[in-house]
Amino acid sequence: MMSEKRTFITDPDAPRIYRIRLEGHLGRQWADWFDGLVITLEDNGDTILTGPVIDQAALHGLLKKVRDLGMPLRSLDCLESNRTAL
């Protein structure tokens, strides 16, 4: 059986999906501030923000908001790259 070889192209305009984990629960009143992201409150007390981020400038803007809230950043993960299989 031949293995399938995939070719990938990079779309620099495609947003990437990020997961931002914060220490502590983010109040629901901040949902509009993080518009476009899903806010999940974990049983362990963490908050997870998940969703598309259009570019690095937007990512830095989100991290600035986290900083301004004073919530410790636990992790930042890119879940989906901007690669598309041909």
What residue spans define the domains of the chain?
8-85
pLDDT, the chain, mean: 87
The H or E element containing residue 17 is: strand 16-22
Residue 34 backbone dihedrals phi, psi, to 5 degrees: -110, 40
Judge: domain 8-85, CATH 1.10.3470.
no
Other Cβ atoms less than 10 A from the Cβ of 62: the count is 19
To the nearest whole percent, how much of the chain has pLDDT over 90? 65
Confidence of residue 35 (pLDDT cuts 50, 70, 90): confident
pLDDT in tens, 1-27: 556 665 555 666 789 999 999 999 998
pLDDT (0 to 100) of residue 80: 73
Q: Which of 69, 78, 70, 74 is nearest to 44 (CA)?
A: 74
